[in-house]
Structure 1
Amino acid sequence: MYRRIKNSVITGIVVALMIIFPLNAQEQSIDLSGAWKVTLNTATNIEDNSLGNNKLKGIIQLPSSLAQQGFGIKTEGSEYGVLTPEYKYLGVAVFEKEIIIPQNWKDKLLTIFLERVLWQSKVFIDGKNISTQDALGTPHMHHIGSLSPGKHQLVIEVDNEMIHNIGDKGHAYGAYTQSIWNGIVGKIEIRAQDPTYVHSVRTFSLIDKDQLKVELDITAHKDEKANIQLQIRELDKQEIVRELNVTRKIKGGSNKLEISLDLEGKLKKWNEFDPTVYILTAEIATKKYSDYYETEFGFQEIGHNGTNVTINGDPVFLRGNLDCVHFPLTGYPSTNIEDWVKIFKTYKDYGLNHARFHSWCPPEAAFKAANRVGIYLQAEASIWIDWWMSVDMKAKGRPEMDTKGYPKGLGLDPDRDTFVIDEMNRVVDTYGNHPSFTMFCIGNELGNSDFDVMKGWVADLKTMDNRRLYSVSTARKITEVDDYMATHYIQGVGRTRGLNGPQTDWDFEDIYSQMNIPIIAHEIGQWPVYPTWDEIDKYTGVLKARNFEGFREVAERNGIADQDRDFKMASGALNQILFKYEIESFLRTKSCAGIQLLSMQDYQGQGEALIGWLDAFWDSKGITTPQKFKQHLDETVPLLRMKKYVWNTDETFEANAQISHYGQYPIEGGIIIATILNDKGSILKEERWSIKDLDIGSLTDIGKFNFPLNSIDHAQKLTISLALEDSRFKNTWDIWVYPSNLPQIDEGGIHFANSLHEEALKALKNGEKVLLFANQLGTDKNSVELNFHPLYWSLTFFPGQGKTNIGLLVQNEHSAMKKFPTSFHSDWQWESIMKTSKGFVLNSTP
C-alpha cells in the first residue's frame, strides 16, 4: 500500500532541482517542462512477467510517460491479445521540483495546468495538499491561489489506478490500445491571472442574423466598471475582421455577460469544404486589473433535417472512422496539432470527413487539427460499460474479456455517476467552441445502464449548450432526447447494417426512413487482413509487438512464414471488396445519415483486430490507394444496382445507375458515362445520360443499363464503369460471365470418387486420373469449413463464429484456372463455390 511521504520529502532523492523558468505570454505563464525528480511506490507488486530490472526513482524529463524513459517494471513475454508495454507501472508516481514565483506575480491567482494525465493528479505546495483533479478527457486545472514571490516546492502525485469504477475496457482508460500509462504529457505550466479575469468564453454562431453571440464568464475582484474589447481575426492572419468595445458594470464574484457582434457578412461559414477558422480575443480592463482570453471558433450552425446531419443548413453524409487511441510509439495520444493534421489529412485522402472517438475524448490538438482540415468530430465522455463487463467472465471461460471492478451500468453507482456527469460537462465546456466538435454522447454501447437516468443528464447538457447534436449512448437504445444515433440495430424496427448476398440491388431504406433523427451505421467493416512480419520492427517505442512475434513463430512452425506478404495482399483484397460492398449499401439508402468504419487503421487490442487498410501507425499496407477507395466513398459517388455478379451468356445484363451527391454545391448539369469493358480492356458498350439540378443530399436515379451477353465467347471478367464527365467521380464494378452451354468433355479414363477408397488409390498407383470430390471429407482436426465472408473482427475476441479463414490465396496462373477467370484472391465469382467447400490442413501431408 502506498503511503504518502511526509512533508513531500522523497526518500532516496538528494539532488535538488532549481530551474529559472521562462515567462511566456506577457509573463502570464511559466513553462514547467524539463527535469523533475520522480519516485514510484516501492511497495508495488512485481508482476510475473517482470525481468527484475526495475527503475523506480530518478530524474525524468517531462512532458513524458514513465515508460518512455524506462521507469517502472520491465516486462518480458507477450500480453494476451494486446501490444505489450516494455515498462509497466500501476500506482502513484510522485513528481517534484522547485519553482520560483517572480516578484511581479505577487497577489496574482495561479493555476497549475497539466494538459493530459491518466488518471488522478494531486498538487502539493510546500508540503500542503492544495488540489485534486481526476479528468480523463480534459486538462487538469489546479487552482492554487496566490503564492509569495520566491522559491516553493511543487509536488505532483499522479495515480493511474482506476479512480472511479468505469472498468478497464474503454479507450480513455484501458490497455487495449493506448496502455494504462503514468506521467504528464502535453503542456505543463503555471498560469497567472489578476484577481479580475476572464474565466471562459463561449461563441454562438447566429447565421440567420449574421451575428456572433459571445458569452463571457468573468470573475471580478470587486464591483466596478470594466472595459471589454472583442476582436475577430482569421487564423494565421493579422487583419482584424470585426471589433467591438463595450463597457459593462461587473460585481464582485462571478459574472455572466452576453455580447452580440454584427458581422456585416465578413465571416465565412465553416464546413468540410471551406474550414475557415477564426480567433476571438477578449480583453478586459478595470482601473487596476486586466486579462486576455483567446479561443478558436468557426462560423457554423449544426442541426438535422430529420434524417441527415446539417451543417449551415446543408445535409451531409458522414463518412466516418473510429479512433480508439492509436499511438503505439508513445502509448498515449498526441497533444501536437501537426500529428493530428497528418492523421486527418489521411482521412481526407481516402474520402472521409468524420471521426468518432470511441469511449474517449482527445486532447485539444485533435479539435484544432479537425478545425483546420474540415473533419466532423464525435467525442465521448470516457465510458464503455456493457452487460458483459459487469459479470465475471473468467467464470464463463472468457478471461480475456474479464473487466476490472465489474462496473455497474451508469445510473446505478452514485459516486461513479458524479464523475461521469462532471466528465460530460468538462468535455463540452473545454472544447465547445471548436466548429469540428459536432456531436457528443456519453459513451459506447451502454447496454446495462439506466437510460431514464442518463437521458436526464443529456437533457441538462443540451439546455446548457445547444451548439451540437447529442446522444445518450452509441448503440443499444434510442431515447427521446437523442438528436442522432450511431447504431447497428434499432429496437422494434430492425438492423441498420449487414450483408445481403452477392448483389447490389438492395438498401436499408425501409429501416432508416422510419426514423426522425439521423441514423449513422455503426462500426462498418471489421474484415481482418493478414499481418506482415516486417511491421514488428516499427514498434520502436514503449509498446512492443510481441504478439506478432508469437504469430510469426506459429507461421514458421507451419512452414508459411515466407508467404506473409502474399497472404496480406490476398486477404487485403477481400477486405477492400467487402468495404466497397458495405459502403455502397448505405449510399443507396437515401435516409442514411452516414457511416462509421471500424476501421481504416488496425486495432491493436481485443485479440489483434488487424482490420485496416492502414496499420496502427497510419501507414498504408498497399492493399488500396486513396484514388481507388474514393471511388466508393466520396462527396459524390456513382452507384450501380444489379441483381448479381455472375451471369451466363444467354442472359442480358441489367442494372440501374444512381448517383449520390453531398458536395459543397448542387450539380447544375453534367453527363454520366457508362461503359462495359471486356478482359482485354475493349469497350463493349457505352451509354451517356444527361443529369441536371442535383441537390446537396440527393440520391438520383440516372437510368437503366442493358447489355445482351450472347456475344461473349468465353468465360471472362467484365468491368462496368460509371463516371461523371470532366470530374474525378468514377466508380467501377466487376462481373463474371460464363458460357451457358459447356462443350462435351470426354470423361473416359477419369475416375470419380467421393473418398480415397481402395479403387481410387489403385487408379492413382497405376498413373490414372482421379477426380476427388473432397467437400464432405475431413475431420475437425484436419479440415475447416470455408465461407466467402472472412471471420469477423478477431477470432480471439469472437470465437465460435464458425469461420477461421480470411480469404483465398489463388494460384491464378495455374493451368487449372485457364478457363476460370480469377485474380490471386477471393472475389464474388468464388462466393457460391465456397459455400459448400472445405479447406484442409496440409502440415502432415508428404
Structure 2
Amino acid sequence: MVNKLDLSGEWLLCLDKECKGTDLVFDDTINLPNTTSNAKKGEYNTERETGFLTDTYKFEGFVWFRKNVDFSALQCENLKLYLERTRITELYIDGKKIGRQESLCTPHIYDLNEYIGTGIHEMTICVSNVGYKTKGGHLTSPDTQTNWNGITGRIELIGYKNAHAENVMLWCDIHSKTVRVTANITGGKSEKAVISAESFNSEKSHTPEVQSFEYTDGKLDALYKMGNDCLLWSEHEPNLYKLRIDIDGDVSEHIIGMREFNTEGGKFTINGEKTFLRGKHDGMIFPKTAFAPTDLDEWLRVMKISKSYGMNHYRYHTCCPPEAAFVAADMLGIYMEPQLPFWGTITEEGEENHNQEEQDFLVEEGFNMLKFFGNHPSYCMMSMGNELWGSKKILNDIIGGYKKFDNRHLYTQGSNNFQWFPNVIENDDFFVGVRLANDRLIRGSYAMCDAPLGHIQTDKPAANHDYDSIIRPKKQANSTEVSEDGTVQIQYGTTMKTVKASEADADFIPEVPIVTHEIGQYETYPNFKEIEKYTGSLKARNFEVFRERLDEKGLLPLAEDYFKCSGKLAVQCYKEEMEAVFRSRLLGGFQILDIQDFSGQGTALVGVLDAFMDSKGLITDSEWREFCNDAVVMARFDSYVLEAGSSFKAHTELCNYRPDLKDGKLICTLTLENGVVIGKVEKNFVAEGNYTDICDVEFTLPQVTKNTKAVLALEIEGTDIRNHYDLWVIPTVEKTDISGAYIFDEVNDEAESLLKQGKTVLIVPDLSRPDNSIEGFYCQDFWCYHMFCIISQMMKKPDPVGTMGLLIDNEHPALAGFAGEKYSTPQWWEIVQNSRSVILDDFKGKKNVIVRTIDNFDRNHDLSLLYEYEKDGGKVVVCSCNFDKLSHFPEGRAFIKSVVDYVRN
C-alpha cells in the first residue's frame, strides 16, 4: 500500500546569490511548488531587455528551502522524497547531506529509508540554477521559459508499506494484442502480481480480464492479454487504458495506449496506416509563470488550441516537457518528440573542446526521459538535439544505446544536424532538415546568412510548389563548398561559429521519412496591446522599448495598422508554405516555427497566436485548417494575378490522411467579389491512397474596369474540407498614355518651374542610384531582423532587407484604378520587387504617404514607395518604382495608369 505526504505549502527561504552555502539566513518564506521569480522573491530587476521578455525577479545562484517534516506520519517500509520538476538539487536532513541530483527534465527522487518512523526532522533542499553540465538549450534559456529557480509540480514523501513496482516499462503490441509488463519489485513477501486494465478517453468501453503473474528475484516480466476487442490509440481515436499492477495491495496505475508508431518507406505509420506529421515547434513558453506547467488542465488548454489549428505533432526544441504534457497528448492524440537539452557539437575523446562529463550527462538524461515518460503512447519520437555538429559515430552509438534499452519509439540524430551537409546515419529512423544539398531546399524561407533563399521569398506568389523533384532530383545539385582548412561558418543560435565539415553529398536521398524543419518563421509587427497581458514576473519591456522607438519616429499612430497589415502578409506566406508541404507526396511531415509567437532571440513574433496561445485576430482556427489538417483540398495554379478576359486554369488535388474519407464530390466555384459566379465545377472522385488528383478546371475571366478580387472556393461536399484562394483580376491596359503628365527622375529646374505654376509633377527616381532607400522585398521578414542582421554581419553575408509588407491607403485617388486591400496582396509583388522604398526619416515638412512600406521594429524607418507633398504652390508625387519593368505585366501597367491618371487629373 502506498501513502503520500504532501509537502507543498510554506517553506522557509534563503537566497544565496554568491553560492556560499554557509551562514544561511532564512529570513523569508515561499509557498511551494513555485519559482522564486513567480513568487517575486529577491531584488527587483529594472533592466529593459529587448531580445526577450524581462524577468523582473531574475535570480541565479543557490536557493535554500527549509521545512520541518514529520517522518512518522507515514507507516511504511520504503520511503522516498519526490520532487517533480526542478534544477540541480542537494538534499539535507538535519544538516546531513543525503545526495545530489542534476536532471533538468525528469523528477528527482531521494531514498529516505533511514528516517522511517524517526519523528520530526529539518529538511533542507538547495536548488541551483548555475553550474549545469550542459547549457540546457530552451530548457534554461531567457528566450523561452527562463532560467528559473525553484521546485514545480509534486513535492511529496512517498511511503510504500509492502511490495511495490519500480522501473515499470510497458510494451504494447497491437498484433498480438498484448502488453508486456516489466518491473523491479521492491519489498514484500508475495511473488504474485495482479494486472488489470480499463479503457477511458474513448467512445467505446473495454475491460480486459484480470490476470495474475508469478515473478521471482524481484523481477516481473509478464505478458498481459488485452483481448481481441482492444482499442487502438491514434490521433483520430486516442483510446487509452488505465493499467494497474497490484502487488500485496500496493497498486500502481499507468496510462497506456495500444499503438505502433513506425515508418514505411518515406512515410510514418500509426497502427499500420500512413500518417503525415503536422508539427508545432515548442520551447515551453508560458509567459504568465515563466515555467512549464505541471498541471494537466493547462497542457490540455494549449494542446487543444494546437489541435484546433490542425496540428497532430509537437517537436520540443532542446527540452522535454513534464508528465502532464504527455498525459494531455495521450488524451488528445498528439505525437510527441522530446529532445535532449543540447545545441552544440558532439565530439570524440581527444578532439578539441571535448567534454565527456557533458556528454555523459546528456546520455543519462535521455535514459531518464525514457524511464519516466516512455510508457506514454504519445511519446513516439526522440531527438538528440538541435542543429548538432561533430561525430556521427558518437551520435549513432548514443541512439543505438537508446534503441537497445527502449525500441518503442523512433529516433533521429537531431533537428537540422550538419545544416548544409545533411546525412542519415545507421540508427536514424527519420530525417529532419531544411535542405538536402546547398540548393535542394525543402522549406520556403531562410535567413540571408543561410542563403539561398526559399521560393516564397524569391518567387512570385503561386499555388504550384512542391518538394518532390527536390527530394528525388533528376539532375545533380550543387554541393556546399568547404574552406581549405575543412571548416565552414554556420549560424549557431543567436550568433555564429566555425565548425569542421566534410563535402556534402549532392545526390543525398534519404530512404527514411523526411520532416522539413522549422518551416515558416514569418514575422509580424508587435501588437502593443499585448503589453497589459504580462501580469506576472515576466514583463514585455521589449514591447515597451519598441513602442517608444516607433513614437520617436512619429509613427506610433500607425502601430495597429502595422500589426494587422504585416500579420495579413505573414498569413499569406504561411498558407503558401503549408500548401507546398501538403502537395509534396514524398515528405513525411513538417515542424512549423510557429503558430505561436517566440518571445526571445531578438523577439521573433512569428505566430498567428501570441505567446499566451491566444489568437492575434489575423486568421481563425477554421480558416487555418483549410490548409493545415488531416485532409487538405488544394488548387494548383501559376499566379494569383490574372488579366481580364484570359483563361484561368487550375488542377485540383486532395491530400488525405483521414481514415474514413474514401470518396467524395468536389465542388469548385469561382466568384467575383460582387457575388457574380463566373463558373462552377462538380466532380465525383475516389480517394486513392493519401493523394488524389481530382480534376482540372478552367474558367474564362470577365472584363473588368478596375482590379477585382475573385475567390476560388473548393469544398468536399458533406465534409469540413474546404479551401479558398483570393485571386486578382486586372483590367486590360495595353499601354500607359503618359501624355499630359509631367514626369521626371528628380525635382530639377523644369519641375521647379511647373510647381510654381501650381502643377503636379511625378518623380520616378532612377533606382540605379540607391541612396537613402531600401530594396523592394515582397515577402515577410524572416524570424527577427535584429538577430539575423547581427549574424549576417558576423558571417560577412548580406543583411536581410527587413521589411514587413505594405500599409496602403487604398482609398486614395492615386489608386482609384488599382483597387485592393490595405495590406500586401499578390498584385503588388511585381510593383514591390521592382521598387526601392525611400527612407523619409529626415523629410522636412508635411507629406502624405500613399503606399507605405512597413519597417521592422528594430530599425523603424519611415518608408514609402508612393507618396506626395506640396512644394512651391504645386504638388510632388514620388513613385520609386521601375516603370519600364512594370510595363511588362498587366498589374504593372494598371498601377502605372492609376498613378499617372492621378497626376494628370
TM range (shorter): 0.7 to 0.9
For the residue of structure 2 that corresponds to 1:344, the secondary structure is helix
- Alignment correspondent of 2:840: 842
Residue 767, structure 1, aligned to residue 709, structure 2: no
Q: 1:492 to 1:265 in 2, by over 3 A?
A: farther
CA deviation after TM superposition for structure 1 residue 818, in Å: 1.8
Residues 788, 800 of structure 2: 8 Å contact kept: no
1:319–1:56: structure 2 CA closer, same or farther, 3 Å change rule?
A: farther
Mapped to 1, the partners of 2:37 and 2:60 lie a distance apart of 11
Asked whether 1:700 is paired with 2:692, we answer yes
1:56–1:196 CA distance, 2 compared to 1 (3 A):
closer
Q: Hey, what's the Cα distance between the residues in 1 that align with 2:700 and 2:334?
A: 45
- TM-score after normalising by structure 2: 0.82
Where 2:532 maps in the other structure, the secondary structure is helix
Q: Greater shift after overlay, 514-523 or 96-105?
A: 96-105
Alpha-carbon offset, residue 327 of structure 1: 0.8
Does the 8 A contact of 2:706 with 2:818 survive in 1? no
User: Is 1:653–2:644 an aligned residue pair?
Assistant: no
Quote the residue 1:8 is aligned against.
none
3-state SS in 1 of match to 2:330: helix
Mapped to 2, the partners of 1:505 and 1:703 lie a distance apart of 15
Deviations 1:173-224 (A, max 9, x none): 2211111111111110011124632112222221111222222222356xx6
TM superposition score normalised by structure 1: 0.88
For the Cα contact (< 8 Å) 2:268–2:276, is it kept in 1?
yes
Instruction: Give the aligned partner of residue 246 of structure 1.
Output: 212
Q: Percent identity?
A: 30
Counterpart pick for 2:538 among 524, 543, 550:
543
Identify which of 604, 619, 623 aligns with 1:624. 619
Matches within 5 A, 1:197-596: 197-220=164-187, 225-235=190-200, 241-251=207-217, 255-285=218-248, 291-385=250-344, 412-447=354-389, 449-476=390-417, 477-491=423-437, 494-498=440-444, 499-500=454-455, 501=459, 502-513=461-472, 514-596=509-591
Which aligned segments of 4 or more residues in structure 1 are displaced greater than 6 angstroms? 236-240, 407-411
* Aligned AA (1:315): K
Q: Tell me the equivalent position of 1:52.
A: none
Q: Which of 138, 152, 176 matches 1:185?
A: 152
Of stretches 500-509 and 314-323 in structure 1, the one that deviates more from structure 2 is 500-509
The one-letter code matched in structure 1 to 2:315 is R
> Are the equivalent residues in 1 in contact too, given 2:139–2:318 (CA < 8 A)?
yes
CA contact (8 A) 1:38 1:93 kept: yes
Offset at residue 786 of structure 1 (A): 2.2
Unaligned 5+ segments in structure 1 are: 1-25, 46-54, 391-406
After superposition, the Cα gap between the structure-2 partners of 1:423 and 1:113, relative to the gap in structure 1 and judged at 3 Å, is: same
Alignment match, 2:898: none
The answer as to whether partners of 2:2 and 2:251 remain within 8 angstroms in 1 is no
1:126 and 2:91 correspond = no
| Counterpart residue type for residue 754 of structure 2 | A
Partner of 2:885: none
C-alpha separation in 2, matches of 1:408 and 1:58: 48
Quick one: distance in 1 between partners of 2:18 and 2:769?
55
For these two proteins, the number of residue pairs brought into alignment is 775
Kindly indicate whether residue 729 of structure 2 is the aligned counterpart of residue 737 of structure 1.
yes
Q: CA deviation at 1:105?
A: 2.6
Secondary structure of 1:310 counterpart: strand
* One-letter amino acid matched to 1:212: V
Contact persistence 1:109–1:146 (CA under 8 A): no
One-letter identity of the residue aligned with 1:124: Y
Quote the offset at 1:746 in angstroms.
6.1
Instruction: Determine if the alignment matches structure 1 residue 791 to structure 2 residue 785.
Output: no
Post-superposition offset of 1:450: 1.6
Deviations along 1:491-510, one digit per CA (max 9) or x if unpaired, are 58932212332222231112
Residues 66-89 of structure 1, C-alpha deviation per residue, up to 9 Å, x if partnerless? 112222232112124011111121
Which secondary structure state, in structure 2, belongs to the residue aligned with residue 40 of structure 1? Answer: strand
Q: 1:141 matched to which residue of 2?
A: 109
Q: What is residue 722 of structure 1 aligned with on the other side?
A: 714
Q: Secondary structure at the match of 1:203?
A: strand
Alpha-carbon deviation of 1:711? 4.4
Q: Distance in 2 between matches of 1:824 and 1:298?
A: 50
C-alpha distance after superposition, 1:253-291 (max 9, x if no partner): xx4322112222232111111112211110112xxxx53
Question: RMSD of the TM alignment (CA)?
Answer: 2.4
| Most deviating of 57-66 and 602-611 | 57-66
**Residues 543 and 56 (structure 1), Cα distance of their counterparts in 2 relative to 1, 3 Å cut:** farther
2:51 aligned with 1:81, yes or no? yes
Compute the displacement of 1:838 (Å). 1.8
The superposition leaves residues 701-738 of structure 1 with CA deviations (integer Å, 9 ceiling, x where unpaired) of 11111223364554322221111111111111122222
Structure 1 pair 452/78, CA: closer, same or farther in 2 (3 Å)?
Answer: same
Residues 619-641 of structure 1, C-alpha deviation per residue, up to 9 Å, x if partnerless? 11100001111111111111111
Write the distance in 2 (CA, Å) between the matches of 1:327 and 1:591.
35
Confirm or deny that 1:671 pairs with 2:665. yes
Q: Which amino acid aligns with 2:818?
A: F
CA distance in 1, matches of 2:26, 2:544: 28
Which residue of the partner structure matches residue 498 of structure 2?
A: none
Q: Which amino acid aligns with 1:423?
A: E
Write the letter of the residue equivalent to 1:677: T
Residue deviations 1:231-274 (CA, integer Å, cap 9, x gap): 101237998812333242422xxx43221122222321111111
| Displacement of 1:340 | 0.5
Report if the CA contact (8 A) 1:225-1:250 is conserved: no
Contact 1:215 1:258 in 2 (8 A): yes
Which one-letter code corresponds to 1:242 in the other structure? Answer: P
Partner in structure 2 of residue 174 of structure 1: 141
| Structure 1 position 470, deviation (Å) | 0.6
Question: Is 1:95 matched with 2:90?
Answer: no
Q: Say whether the 8 Å CA contact 1:231–1:240 is kept in structure 2.
A: no
User: How far apart, CA to CA, are the structure 2 residues paired with 1:429 and 1:410?
Assistant: 33
Match of 1:49 in 2: none
User: 1:536 offset after TM fit, Å?
Assistant: 0.9
Give, in angstroms, the shift of residue 485 of structure 1: 1.9
Shift of 1:475: 1.2
Task: Tell me by how many angstroms 1:679 deviates.
Answer: 2.5
Q: 1:637 to 1:512 in 2, by over 3 A?
A: same
SS class of match (2:404): helix
Structure 2 runs not aligned, ≥5 long: 418-422, 445-453, 473-508, 793-798, 846-905
Q: 2:633 aligns with which of 634, 638, 642?
A: 638
Q: Is the contact between residue 168 and residue 183 of structure 2 (CA under 8 Å) also seen in structure 1?
A: yes
**Within 2, Cα distance between the matches of 1:313 and 1:458?**
24
Moved more, 705-714 or 835-844: 705-714
Shift of 1:775: 5.8
- How far does residue 740 in structure 1 lie from its aligned partner after superposition? 3.5
1:578-604 Cα shifts (integer Å, max 9, x gaps) = 000000001111011111111011111
562-571 or 714-723, larger mean C-alpha shift: 714-723
1:435-459 Cα offsets, whole Å, 9 max, x none, are 1111111111112x32210110111
For each residue in 1:448-487, what CA deviation from the matched residue of structure 2 results, as whole angstroms up to 9, or x when unmatched? x322101101111112111111111111242121111221
